[in-house]
Structure 1
Amino acid sequence: MSAARHPNDPDGPSAAPPHHRRTRAEPLVASYRPLPPQRDDAPRRRGRLRAYRPLVYLAPVLLTLTFLTVVDFARTPQDSRASTAGEQIANEGPTPAMSNPDGPTVQADGAPTNPARTAVSAELPGGGPFPTQGAGTFHVVPGTSEQIGQGRLSTYTVEVENDIVFTDGDTAFGTVVQATLSHPKSWTATGSTALRRIDTGTPELRVTLASQATARRLCGFDIPYDTSCFLRAKPGHVVLNAARWERGAQSFQGDIGQYRRYVVNHEVGHYFNNPHQPCAGAGALAPLMMQQTLTTANDELSTLVSDIQNDIAVPRDGKVCKPNEWVFPNR
């Protein structure tokens, strides 16, 4: 006679003796809830695994690539990422303010020095307002000239920073620059140099008027005096500080026209590879390449620039020169 199936017996009827079956039963004090009958769905599971197998293999690769990308970005200097952005902007159009990413090689009127080194003659004179901030980009001022001088020809443009307003305006600025560089006492008088102003195409030299903030950024402001500079880029870039263009320098005793001619000729002189010079004789006209924006006295200039710039050694000899704006003042 077969044994009756207990309603909670998962195994169903069995021919095993009752004592054997009791040895497999759960203790009576335990709550026994048997699992539902199991279906053999192994083939289906294997199918799902085969479907997701490529993702299982690919996931570690994707995680590794993501990690390496994040690490590489973190290790990339911010300046390098900014430089790349600048190159992209430059490719989209002209960005003159970014033309010299390495900074000036010649700081024409502002060799860096200790701020504690001061000279009254280097202070910006009082006067009217001047543009302190601009857009950081420049536009070409319309105007051209015939070739002036004989020898190697250099073309130049006259440019003004966008979003600045100054006393005379763009046209007057262009007129002063062109008249200065075309003068027979300027650089074309060497007999080996020729200049021609253009307003289209790519020049060899750009002569620009910049706001105070932009000039400080491009030329440096390691000493507490506003200066102008030449940036040895391609094309060469003369940066004229609008603060000085409006106010001049103490050395020129209020003659703003003389100072403007000086600063144009001086900075363009660096384009022609001319270094700075000290005062050569007491009471004589200062060499054009003396840093007359700061002073015309050797002792003061030595205080400001000694052990700072390497193109000249300024002697402490008490010599004081008179201001001069021309390459060849006696012609």
Structure 2
Amino acid sequence: MGFGVLLLLAATATVTLARAGDRASVPATGDGRRTSYAAGTDERPRPSAYPRAGTGDFVTAPGESPVRGTDGPLLHYRVAVEQGTGQDVDSFAVAVDEVLGDPRSWIASEELRLRRVAEADDADFTVYLATPDTSERMCAEGGLSTEGYTSCRLPGQVIVNLARWLEAVPDYGAPLAIYRAYVVNHEVGHELGEVHQACPGPGEPAPVMQQQTYGLDGCAANAWPYVDGSRYDGEVVPGT
């Protein structure tokens, strides 16, 4: 075998070995999920738990809920889920209804009543469940930057980020159901005119208007504006 042939075989072997150590990326699927796997192994691609993007169109929960609360003005809300999220609008509506109708929620003030409706013309605000990309775009229309991570509220729009709804946040220290109740009460609280509050002190419950998604600052996770039958607050965070 000639010297030139030996050089060619050696070069080919080097390229083959280099490629075997690469990470191969599977292109995004139609719903925005991405997967990756190590080339040359038997590891299967594992999709994300949620799509980054949906269709941008929303389906509204049908029907109405009972009136929640004992006194005060009656506000009406709708519930809508983005298509392409894999989430059932009726199930999301039930979850929102249970949070807002809980005796520890905003109706405990006895100065507010709430009822879910189906028609946009009848609603004072809408609670949306949206993918990270769609929620970021919706929030940005009101001048809010969420980086596709947090939920937000704009006038008449409570926008819940699908990723947070499904995964909460790292080190939250409470079950997912508690975070879900928190995010609904927090963003609806903004719709009701509430502003951000600070942790009162280490080990104390976090006020529901604390930005718990960004960290608890030593407080314990808390989903409710009323604790032990009384309104629970922290100091107002200036400028929020």
The TM-score normalised by the length of structure 1 is 0.51
Match of 2:38 in 1: none
Match of 2:94 in 1: 175
1:189-246 Cα distance to aligned partner (Å, 9 max, x none): 11111101111352001001001100111224746560000011xxx10000001111
Q: Distance in 1 between matches of 2:204 and 2:164?
A: 24
- Structure 1 residues 242 and 134, CA gap change in structure 2 (3 angstroms): same
Q: Distance in 1 between matches of 2:146 and 2:131?
A: 18
Counterpart pick for 1:329 among 211, 224, 227? 227
1:288-321 Cα distance to aligned partner (Å, 9 max, x none): 0000011111xxxxxxxxxxxxxxxxxxxxxx11
1:6-44 Cα distance to aligned partner (Å, 9 max, x none): xxxxxxxxxxxxxxxxxxxxxxxxxxxxxxxxxxxxxxx
- The question of 1:189 aligning with 2:90 is answered no
Q: Distance in 2 between matches of 1:157 and 1:222?
A: 24
- Structure 1 residues 192 and 172, CA gap change in structure 2 (3 angstroms): same
1:143 positional shift: 3.5
- The question of 1:253 aligning with 2:166 is answered no
Q: What residue identity is the alignment partner of 1:194?
A: R
**1:176-255 map, 5 Å:** 176-202=95-121, 203-220=123-140, 222=145, 224=147, 226-232=149-155, 236-253=156-173, 255=175
1:136-189 Cα distance to aligned partner (Å, 9 max, x none): 2212112421211110110001100123214xx222211110000000000011
Q: Which has the greater radius of gyration?
A: 1
Counterpart pick for 2:206 among 286, 290, 295? 286
Q: Distance in 1 between matches of 2:117 and 2:147?
A: 35
The 3-state SS of whatever aligns with 1:145 is coil
The 3-state SS of whatever aligns with 2:196 is coil
1:48-99 Cα distance to aligned partner (Å, 9 max, x none): xxxxxxxxxxxxxxxxxxxxxxxxxxxxxxxxxxxxxxxxxxxxxxxxxxxx
- The question of 1:134 aligning with 2:32 is answered no
Q: What residue identity is the alignment partner of 1:155?
A: H
Native 8 Å contact 2:75 2:113 kept in 1: yes
Native 8 Å contact 1:143 1:174 kept in 2: no
* Number of aligned residues: 178
Q: What residue identity is the alignment partner of 1:326?
A: W
Native 8 Å contact 1:251 1:292 kept in 2: no
Unaligned stretches of 5+ residues in structure 1:
1-126, 298-319
**1:1-331 map, 5 Å:** 129-149=49-69, 150-166=71-87, 169-202=88-121, 203-220=123-140, 222=145, 224=147, 226-232=149-155, 236-253=156-173, 255-297=175-217, 320-331=218-229
- Structure 1 residues 193 and 164, CA gap change in structure 2 (3 angstroms): same
1:265 positional shift: 0.4
Native 8 Å contact 1:252 1:258 kept in 2: no
The 3-state SS of whatever aligns with 1:293 is helix
The TM-score normalised by the length of structure 2 is 0.70
The structure in which a higher percent of residues are helix is 1
- Structure 1 residues 140 and 151, CA gap change in structure 2 (3 angstroms): same
The 3-state SS of whatever aligns with 1:250 is coil
Q: Distance in 1 between matches of 2:85 and 2:170?
A: 24
Where has structure 1 moved over 3 Å in runs of 4 or more?
220-225
Give me the CA root mean square deviation: 1.9
Which has the higher relative contact order, 1 or 2, with Cα contacts under 8 A spaced 6 or more apart? 1
Native 8 Å contact 1:128 1:247 kept in 2: no
